[in-house]
């Protein structure tokens, strides 16, 4: 996989590519983030918006990113420069790749801390700590973890190190093989948990919470978060999928792959949600408990059910591995950029970038204890701020620009050859990426700009976008029309 020079390598088969892309998509976003933000934003209506975003924005952006990757055949910065040149676009499009490199590193900084929690839980579970544990005991364990900087830093370091070592080596066979049993394994344990959820007596309530929309709870901020999550969960807008698609050979279908990825990713998130909220309601817990939701609920189920020790240990091991296969794709755009454009060895790049990510991650560690009351963006801790800026701004912005590039800059015959769709379907795709997806993203951005809550971050981003536009003008006289 990534130890190959980007422009030369290719996946052995279509299914290996799908596996790797699913490995990137399925991760903490599905198991940890989706349930907790769904709980915070009130359930059904939020989920509905999220599903719409996957369908109308996520999937078209995924196709767009695949097209850019397969055509650009390099790390995201270079790939954007390549496709821009080939389609008479401005050089400034490379900034889009840079946005992705930066977003990946920022996301990985907190991703590693949370994956560290799962590592800790795996070890606890193996030791039988959850056997017979009730919601209160599990809650205390979690509080204890968050209160201990030493523990948090230890597990964060362990996860970051593992990621660095794998990426430094180049990941070929190990990860490919792991992903082969990872996804089915995860799905299997989620089904077992689903069986357990139906015995809690609160399954129907959980189902209703997820699928019965109550629009009175929906704010523009919630819509922004749902949209941001569609990007986050499908690994969009920052070049992960672009890098992976740069290894796809011409005979494989990116449309088929994209649909599979979106389907698998969505199913796993919904299953996790159904299970977690059954346990929440059965134990009188709070749906809006925040980032600890997964960690305060599932151990209760493992503590109660037959074989819970085994399934619990397996589950947290799988969470760690799912997080690992996403983490690799988060740092890969940066590593391949350093390797190809800055002539740095892969090993050096992985260690240097990993060290930077590790240090930024300390801010997230402190967000749960010493810095808990410190606000970076209004009302947001360091962790919340990084999460907000990346998932809700940088990724949608990146995705927006990608669709704009495909729709208005890239030659139509290139897009046509890439997607191999019938004319009507191709026209639908064009209609969505020309009008629906960009306008939806812009409306969501604009509505948050006028909301008091997100005013400052949105103004900052608008200034950033304007600056990129100016650079674009100065350097190459604007983007060429087709």
For residue 164, give the nearest of 18, 324, 399, 376 by alpha carbon: 324
- For residues 165-186, b (16+ Cβ closer than 10 Å) or e, as one string? ebbbebbeeebbebbeebbebb
Q: Which is nearer to ligand PHE, 138 or 238 (CB)?
A: 238
User: Which tokens belong to 363?
Assistant: 């801010």
Q: Which is nearer to ligand PHE, 37 or 330 (CB)?
A: 330
Cβ 242 to ligand PHE shortest distance, Å: 10
- Angle of helix 135-147 relative to helix 293-304, nearest 10 degrees, comes to 140
Cβ 284 to ligand PHE shortest distance, Å: 29
Q: How many residues bind ligand PHE (CB under 6 A)?
A: 15
Residue nearest to ligand PHE (CB): 29
Residue with tokens 């050979």: 249
6, 73 Cβ separation under 8 angstroms: yes
Residue with tokens 């801010």: 363
Cβ 144 to ligand PHE shortest distance, Å: 25
The C-alpha atoms of residue 376 and residue 381 are separated, in whole angstroms, by 6
Indicate whether 64 belongs to the interface with ligand PHE (CB under 6 A).
Answer: no
Q: Which is nearer to ligand PHE, 29 or 72 (CB)?
A: 29
Q: Which is nearer to ligand PHE, 99 or 200 (CB)?
A: 99
∠78-81-84 over CA atoms, to 5°? 150
Q: Which is nearer to ligand PHE, 28 or 79 (CB)?
A: 28
Cβ 33 to ligand PHE shortest distance, Å: 7
Cβ 398 to ligand PHE shortest distance, Å: 10
Cβ 327 to ligand PHE shortest distance, Å: 8
The C-alpha atoms of residue 92 and residue 80 are separated, in whole angstroms, by 9
For residue 366, give the nearest of 392, 352, 353, 384 by alpha carbon: 384
* Three-state secondary-structure class, residue 148: coil
Contact pattern for ligand PHE over residues 417 through 456, marking x by CB under 6 A = ----------------------------------------
Site for ligand PHE in 215-254 (CB under 6 A): 232-233, 235, 238, 240
Q: Which is nearer to ligand PHE, 281 or 383 (CB)?
A: 383
Site for ligand PHE in 65-124 (CB under 6 A): 107
The C-alpha atoms of residue 327 and residue 306 are separated, in whole angstroms, by 32
Q: Which is nearer to ligand PHE, 159 or 309 (CB)?
A: 159
Site for ligand PHE in 13-52 (CB under 6 A): 24-25, 27-30
Cβ 261 to ligand PHE shortest distance, Å: 10
Cβ 164 to ligand PHE shortest distance, Å: 16
Site for ligand PHE in 352-411 (CB under 6 A): none
User: Which tokens belong to 53?
Assistant: 């975003």
Q: Which is nearer to ligand PHE, 228 or 303 (CB)?
A: 228
Residue 102's CB is within 10 A of a number of other CB atoms, namely 17
Indicate whether 329 belongs to the interface with ligand PHE (CB under 6 A).
Answer: yes
* Three-state secondary-structure class, residue 377: strand
For residue 73, give the nearest of 59, 64, 83, 63 by alpha carbon: 83
Indicate whether 330 belongs to the interface with ligand PHE (CB under 6 A).
Answer: yes
Q: Which of 38, 99, 326, 392 binds ligand PHE (CB under 6 A)?
A: 326
Give me the DSSP letters along 317-356: HHHHHHHHHHHHHHHHHHHHHHHHHS---HHHHHHHHHHH
| Residues that bind ligand PHE in the complex, under the rule CB under 6 A | 24-25, 27-30, 107, 232-233, 235, 238, 240, 326, 329-330
């Amino acid at each position: 996989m990534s130890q190959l020079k980007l422009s030369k390598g290719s996946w052995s088969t279509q299914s290996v590519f799908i596996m790797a892309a699913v490995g990137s998509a399925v991760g903490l976003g599905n198991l940890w983030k989706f349930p907790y933000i769904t709980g915070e934003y009130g359930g059904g209506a939020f989920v509905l918006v999220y599903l719409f975003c996957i369908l109308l924005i996520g999937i078209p952006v995924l196709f767009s990113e695949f097209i850019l990757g397969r055509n650009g055949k390099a790390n995201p910065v270079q790939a954007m420069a390549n496709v821009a040149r080939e389609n008479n676009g401005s050089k400034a499009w490379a900034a889009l790749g840079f946005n992705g490199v930066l977003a990946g590193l920022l996301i990985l900084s907190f991703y590693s801390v949370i994956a560290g929690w799962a590592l800790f839980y795996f070890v606890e579970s193996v030791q039988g700590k959850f056997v017979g544990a009730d919601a209160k005991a599990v809650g205390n364990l979690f509080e204890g973890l968050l209160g201990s900087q030493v523990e948090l830093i230890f597990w964060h370091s362990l996860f970051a190190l593992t990621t660095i070592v794998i990426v430094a080596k180049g990941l070929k066979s190990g990860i490919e093989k792991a992903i082969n049993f990872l996804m089915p394994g995860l799905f299997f344990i989620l089904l077992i948990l689903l069986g357990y959820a139906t015995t809690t007596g609160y399954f129907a309530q959980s189902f209703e919470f997820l699928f019965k929309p109550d629009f009175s709870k929906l704010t523009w901020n919630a819509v922004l978060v749902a949209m941001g999550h569609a990007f986050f969960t499908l690994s969009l807008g920052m070049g992960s999928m672009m890098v992976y698609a740069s290894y796809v050979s011409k005979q494989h279908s990116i449309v088929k792959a994209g649909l599979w990825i979106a389907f698998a990713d969505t199913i796993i998130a919904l299953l996790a949600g159904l299970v977690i909220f059954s346990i929440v309601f059965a134990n009188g817990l709070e749906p809006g408990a925040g980032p600890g939701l997964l960690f305060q609920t599932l151990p209760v189920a493992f503590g109660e059910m037959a074989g819970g020790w085994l399934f619990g240990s397996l589950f947290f091991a799988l969470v760690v591995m799912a997080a690992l296969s996403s983490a690799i794709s988060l740092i890969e755009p940066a590593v391949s950029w350093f390797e190809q454009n800055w002539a740095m060895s892969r090993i050096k790049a992985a260690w240097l970038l990993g060290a930077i990510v590790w240090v930024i991650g300390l801010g997230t560690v402190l967000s749960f204890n010493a810095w808990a009351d410190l606000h970076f963006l209004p009302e947001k801790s360091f962790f919340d701020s990084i999460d907000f800026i990346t998932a809700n701004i940088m990724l949608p912005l990146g995705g927006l620009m990608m669709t704009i590039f495909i729709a208005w800059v890239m030659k139509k015959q290139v897009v046509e050859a890439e997607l191999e769709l019938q004319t009507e379907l191709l026209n639908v795709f064009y209609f969505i990426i020309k009008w629906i997806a960009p306008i939806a993203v812009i409306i969501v951005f604009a509505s948050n700009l006028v909301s008091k809550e997100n005013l400052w971050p949105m103004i900052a981003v608008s200034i950033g976008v304007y600056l990129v536009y100016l650079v674009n003008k100065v350097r190459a006289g604007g983007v060429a029309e087709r």
